[in-house]
Each structure stands twice: as C-alpha cells, then as structure tokens.
Amino acid sequence: MAMAFSALLKRTSAIKSVIGGLQASRAFASVAVDSDLVSAASDVSLQRARSWDEGVSSKFATTPLSDIFKGKKVVIFGLPGAYTGVCSTQHVPSYKRNIDSFKRKGIDSVICVSVNDPYTINGWAEKLQAKEAIEFYGDFDGSFHKKLDLMIDLSAALLGPRSHRWSAYVDDGKIKALNIEKAPSEFQVSSGDVILNQI
Amino acid sequence: MAMAFSALLKRTSAIKSVIGGLQASRAFASVAVDSDLVSAASDVSLQRARSWDEGVSSKFATTPLSDIFKGKKVVIFGLPGAYTGVCSTQHVPSYKRNIDSFKRKGIDSVICVSVNDPYTINGWAEKLQAKEAIEFYGDFDGSFHKKLDLMIDLSAALLGPRSHRWSAYVDDGKIKALNIEKAPSEFQVSSGDVILNQI
C-alpha cells in the first residue's frame, strides 16, 4: 500500500504544483499558528454530519465557523475522505481513543472535517462508531479548506479535489498548534497523540 | 419531506437555469433513445465500487464504458448520491427486488452509478446489502454525467454538482429506453418496475 500510494503521490504532487501556481494568484488565506481561523474564513460554514432525513428536517442548515470556535477550546482534524484507508484505520481512532484525555485538558469539542457531503460523512462516522466522541462536519464544496489553502487534487486516487491530512488546536478561534502532513498518505504529525501533547 | 424538497428544488432550478445557459455553449452530448452511449462518451471511464484497500491493490484502475456495454444487455440507473433519501429507500431497492426478473429477460448486468467516489458508494452499497444483485460504479468527477448532460447543481441540499435521477436500458451500447425524472426528488419514471416493462 505504501508503495502504490507513493507512486500516486508523485503524480499528485505534479498536479499540485500546477494548482499551487494557480492558487498563488487567488485570494486564498493561508493560516499559521496565531492566525484567527474565524476571521480567515468568516464567510464559510461547515455542514454538521447527519442523515438525509435529518438534513431535510434541518432545512439543510449549515454551521458558521463562529458557532464552532468562538469562546471554545477545539481540537480539529481534517483528512482526505470518508471511507479511505489511513483515515478509517488510524486517524479517526487516534482521536477517539484519546477523547477522555482531551476532555481532562479542557477541550470542549473534538472535530473531524472532510471534503464530503454531510450524509456520507455521517454514514462513515456511524460505521466507525465514533459519533459519540467526535463531532463530524462536511465541507462539501471545499470552501473551508480552500480558505485555509489546504486543498490537494487526489484525482489519481479517484477522489478529486480533497483536503490535506492535518490537525489544529484552536482556542477561541486562534490557532495555537497546527500540523500538516507532507503527503495525505503519511501519518506522522496529525495524530491525536501528537496534538494532545501540544495543548 | 416532500415540501422541504420542493422548496429546495425551486432554488436549485433557478441555479440550474444559470448552469443550463452556460452548458448550451459547451460541447456536452445529450443522449436519447437510439443514441450510442459508448460513442457519446468514448473517452469516459467509471470507477467500480470497492474498498480503499481494493482501490490501492487495483492501482486505482478505472473501467472504460466499452467494457461495461459492448456486446451486453445492461440496465443502468443514476441517482443524486449515496446516503441520500429516495436513493436509499426506494430507487436501489426497486432494482434489487427485480433482479431475477431482469436476469430472466436476458439482462447481463444491472448497474447503479452516482457522482461519488468508489469507496463511498461501496460503503453505501454494503449498507444496503445490494452488492450481490447490482454492480455499483462511481463517477467521481462527474465526467460521465456531464457527457450525458445529466448534471444538476444540488448545492442547496449540501451535495454540490450531482446527477439527475434516471434509468436506461442499453443493448450493445445503444440506448433502447431512457427515463429521466423531472426533479431528483421525484420517483415516477426511473424505477426498476418501469424499466422492466420496457425491455
């Protein structure tokens, strides 16, 4: 698996350098430690994971970033997609198993976000039995990750435009720690164990 | 649910008329009865539903339309998305329960296609326990449905660009019957029961 993915990543990094060139001329905000996440993406909303019927009942409501981050201590992590490998077997579980430690450190919410629609990410969260510990949100049109300059073209893996694998500790909207994997196949810096020690 | 969706569709049809205007100047092929589906989209491939690990093992292989349709009698249906309402509760089940009747009429394969990645549609197919009866394919970048002029913007339902709800009977690549719902929330003409009587 590692070899197949490294071949893929050679292809996607070629694609990405093209996209990166295009992005340089756009108004995407890059974030870093001390950035205010809510200000950087003030017009962006995420979509709380839910079933289709709950989506209809909610009139397809979305959640502004200020509701998620203002006045709260949040650990958030992003990944390339529901139903993909490292995300299912390592990334989500590393947050789920540390949930009590996060709570003891005063974290109000642990959030998983992905460029998926909220019904798909809900189906996946249920399959992983992770919905009680972690709040899942969709970023169905990628507008959140575009603002953060965290998009990557994963068409070579039959996924299309998705997000990098990353994590952040955010206190009242301010980024206090930020970890971005060099490639979405890697799982070196964005685990629950790493960020637990950064809080 | 019907009311909420009808309100949604008023919004999406406004979006769609804008998109429709844009599409008029593009080279999208519309299909109709007697069209040759393989010729209309000869450069398009679909992605067989599979787990991520199977995707890696397959080196993310895709399936050309000619492999799916040439020399075969195929019933194919498309829908707005894995994990959405009508698709899960009515559309897929109407094909699953008729699978023996399709086989008796000489149909080689019954295929479900959606603008989803192949791992998501695989997770959904497993949840619906429909993988034995029906072959599921992803159209992750919408290139198949764009060629058929069957795309619709469902951003108001937090889905983004997806496909209409439709069905077709295709014999050796030639479309023999084609049914497209007026709105993706409807389920009048694209069921398994309807197309069974068109073969």
pLDDT digits (tens, 9 = 90+) for B35-83: 899 988 889 999 999 999 999 999 999 999 999 999 999 999 999 999 9
pLDDT in tens, chain A (199 residues): 343 444 444 444 433 433 333 333 333 347 788 889 898 888 999 999 999 999 999 999 999 999 999 999 999 999 999 999 887 788 999 999 999 999 999 999 999 999 999 999 999 999 999 999 999 999 999 999 999 999 999 999 999 999 999 999 999 999 999 999 998 888 889 999 999 999 9
Q: What is the mean pLDDT of chain B?
A: 86
Answer whether B83 sits within 8 Å of A140, measured CB to CB. Answer: no
Contact A111, A137 (CB under 8 A): yes
Is position A87 annotated as part of the catalytic site?
yes
Which residue from A47, A57, A83 is facing B158, i.e. has the nearest CB? A47
Q: CA of A171, closest CA in chain B: separation in Å?
A: 28
What DSSP letter does each residue of B77-91 carry, written as one string? Answer: EEES-TT-HHIIIII
Supply the ipTM of this predicted assembly: 0.85
Q: What is the pLDDT of residues A11-69, one digit of tens each?
A: 444 334 333 333 333 333 477 888 898 988 889 999 999 999 999 999 999 999 999 99
> pTM, whole model, 2 decimals?
0.86
> Coil, helix or strand for B110?
strand
Q: Where would I find the beta strands (DSSP E) of chain A? A: 45-48, 63-64, 73-79, 109-114, 135-138, 151-153, 161-163, 166-171, 174-180
